[in-house]
């Protein structure tokens, strides 16, 4: 039997596995390996990975341990326990003054990545179109494409503060009549924060032209300048929005796989139907640990936020002294900086070239983004105190030495 005939067209059909694809993270890992082989005594500065570098706070782990021993928590949780939705509702009210009914307007998810892949199944028919900002987290666009939808990318550019330009968005919406507009604020990778005026206009457009706003708020707790705004804060916003919140980044619970979706009741119900047919819900002990996090770990989030804000500001200063036009990031733990025309005499056209240069010459790992002009993303989730660097100061001293003084120390 020719197994190649089994593969769906969406993953390459008969060519699946035959075409050599090089993903940017593979290129980064290969270059990292080469650097370590050539410079075994030099520490690598890893600003590549975008996930929290510490354990959750001990009480979250304790809560998981305690709840894992409760017999009643072993069952299939399906679309979630009300207790968790109630904790999510209290969190939304306390942190952002958002009202959401825990019974009908909130549903837990097995991480927001999974929810982003499930949402299109509830809303898209083949041929529908989806507007998604680029650069961006690719999961909902990929799932939409797999369902036969058309993707309409909207570039996030510095001259518009990394928000879709409203006139362009409006004419695209009028012309293409999308079913979904995907937003992600606070934004990965640009670090941009949406304004209330911007979201108000998008909500108006959604009502006028009948589309769903999917707002990925995975970084809602990490706003450093200004404040988090949500379509759910705007009159009429809830009716047209599904917003996703994640416990991964705020509480360092990324491996726990827990988040929630909030929005208008019929929208949440539609998501719930797809969810119920594709997963059995997150382990109740994890939902209970998540309840504890949402209710009682605000101080931990504030400490995390302060740490990333401090690191972002230190990194931006060093990058500027090295000739890279970095500005303070208003949110997330990412610093998104434009690639200069040349660095240390090396002419540069793409972010991939700059990433290669920084790894091979300085053992500095970043992530390249070329989708809307060449930019690098520096993540402030680097690890200290365990291996390599003993402290945050050591990391920044090494960064300064390498980028500003061109010395590999």
Q: In angstroms, give the least distance from the CB of 382 to ligand PLP.
A: 16
Nearer to ligand PLP, 51 or 168 (CB): 51
CB 222 within 8 A of CB 332: yes
CA 133 to chain centre: 13
Nearer to ligand PLP, 377 or 402 (CB): 377
Nearer to ligand PLP, 137 or 389 (CB): 137
**Contact between 113 and ligand PLP (CB under 6 A)?**
yes
Q: In angstroms, give the least distance from the CB of 245 to ligand PLP.
A: 8
Using the contact rule CB under 6 A, the part of the chain among 66-74, 109-117, 338-346, 374-382 near ligand PLP is 109-117
Binders of ligand PLP among residues 299 to 328 (CB under 6 A) are: none
Rounded Cα distance between 162 and 155, Å, is: 8
CB 241 within 8 A of CB 208: no
**Contact between 259 and ligand PLP (CB under 6 A)?**
yes
Sorted by sequence, the CB contacts under 8 Å of residue 165 that are 6+ apart come out as 157
32 phi and psi, to 5 degrees?
A: -60, -45
Taking CB under 6 A as the criterion, the residue among 184, 241, 329, 355 binding ligand PLP is 184
Nearer to ligand PLP, 51 or 393 (CB): 51
Nearer to ligand PLP, 114 or 313 (CB): 114
Nearer to ligand PLP, 112 or 322 (CB): 112
**Contact between 186 and ligand PLP (CB under 6 A)?**
no
**Contact between 250 and ligand PLP (CB under 6 A)?**
no
Rounded Cα distance between 121 and 273, Å, is: 10
**Contact between 216 and ligand PLP (CB under 6 A)?**
yes
**Contact between 137 and ligand PLP (CB under 6 A)?**
yes
Binders of ligand PLP among residues 13 to 52 (CB under 6 A) are: 50
Nearer to ligand PLP, 50 or 272 (CB): 50
Rounded Cα distance between 195 and 290, Å, is: 29
How many CA within 13 A on the CB side of residue 73? Answer: 18
**Contact between 329 and ligand PLP (CB under 6 A)?**
no
CB 28 within 8 A of CB 355: yes
The separation between the first and the last C-alpha atoms of the chain, rounded to the nearest angstrom, is 57
**Contact between 108 and ligand PLP (CB under 6 A)?**
no
Q: Are strands 375-379 and 45-46 parallel, antiparallel or unpaired?
A: unpaired
What is the helix (H) or strand (E) element at residue 264, kind and residue range?
none
**Contact between 111 and ligand PLP (CB under 6 A)?**
yes
By CB under 6 A, the count of residues binding ligand PLP is 13
Burial of 271-294, coded b for 16+ CB within 10 Å and e otherwise, reads bbebbeeebebbbbbbbbbbbbbb
Beta bridge partners of 365: 46
Q: In angstroms, give the least distance from the CB of 183 to ligand PLP.
A: 10
Taking CB under 6 A as the criterion, the residue among 79, 246, 329, 381 binding ligand PLP is 246
**Contact between 188 and ligand PLP (CB under 6 A)?**
yes
Both structure tokens of 373: 């002009």
Taking CB under 6 A as the criterion, the residue among 66, 73, 195, 254 binding ligand PLP is 254
**Contact between 371 and ligand PLP (CB under 6 A)?**
no
Rounded Cα distance between 195 and 210, Å, is: 22
Q: Please report where in the chains the tokens 């518009």 appear, as a residue.
A: 160
Q: How many helices (H) and strands (E) does the chain have?
A: 12, 14
Rounded Cα distance between 250 and 302, Å, is: 9
Using the contact rule CB under 6 A, the part of the chain among 32-40, 108-116, 125-133, 199-207 near ligand PLP is 108-116
What is the binding site for ligand PLP (CB under 6 A)? 50, 111-113, 137, 184, 188, 216, 218, 246, 248, 254, 259
């Amino acid at each position: 039997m020719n197994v190649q005939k089994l593969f769906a067209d969406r993953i390459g059909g008969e060519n699946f596995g035959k075409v050599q694809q090089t993903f940017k993270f593979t290129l980064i890992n290969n270059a990292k390996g080469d650097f370590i082989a050539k410079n075994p005594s030099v520490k690598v500065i890893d600003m590549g990975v975008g996930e929290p570098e510490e354990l959750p706070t001990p009480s979250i782990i304790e809560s998981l341990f305690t709840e894992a021993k409760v017999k009643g928590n072993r069952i299939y949780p399906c679309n979630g326990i009300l207790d968790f939705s109630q904790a999510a509702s209290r969190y939304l009210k306390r942190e952002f003054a958002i009202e959401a009914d825990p019974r009908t307007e909130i549903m837990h998810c097995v991480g927001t990545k999974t929810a982003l892949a499930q949402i299109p199944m509830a809303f898209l028919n083949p041929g529908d179109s989806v507007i998604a900002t680029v650069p961006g987290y690719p999961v909902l666009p990929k799932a939409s494409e797999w369902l036969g939808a058309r993707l309409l990318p909207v570039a996030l550019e510095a001259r518009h503060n990394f928000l879709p330009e409203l006139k362009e968005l409006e004419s695209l919406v009028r012309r293409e009549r999308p079913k979904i507009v995907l937003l992600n604020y606070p934004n990965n990778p640009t670090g941009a924060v949406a304004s209330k005026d911007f979201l108000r206009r998008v909500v108006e457009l959604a009502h006028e032209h009948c589309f769903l706003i999917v707002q990925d708020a995975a970084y809602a707790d990490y706003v450093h300048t200004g404040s988090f705004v949500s379509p759910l804060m705007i009159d009429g916003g809830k009716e047209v929005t599904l917003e996703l919140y994640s416990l991964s980044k705020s509480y360092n619970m990324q491996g726990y796989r827990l988040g929630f979706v909030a929005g208008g009741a019929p929208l949440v119900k539609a998501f719930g139907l797809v969810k119920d047919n594709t997963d059995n819900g997150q382990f109740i002990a994890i939902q209970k640990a998540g309840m504890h996090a949402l209710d009682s770990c605000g101080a931990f989030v504030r400490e995390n936020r302060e740490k990333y804000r401090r690191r972002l500001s230190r990194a931006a200063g060093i990058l500027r002294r090295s000739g890279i036009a970095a500005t303070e990031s208003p949110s997330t733990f990412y610093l998104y900086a434009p690639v200069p025309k040349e660095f240390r005499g090396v002419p540069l056209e793409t972010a991939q070239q700059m990433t290669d240069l920084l790894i091979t010459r300085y053992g500095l790992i970043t992530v390249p983004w070329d989708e809307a002009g060449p930019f690098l993303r520096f993540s402030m989730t680097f690890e200290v105190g365990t291996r390599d660097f003993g402290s945050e100061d050591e990391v920044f001293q090494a960064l300064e030495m390498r980028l500003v003084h061109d010395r590999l120390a």
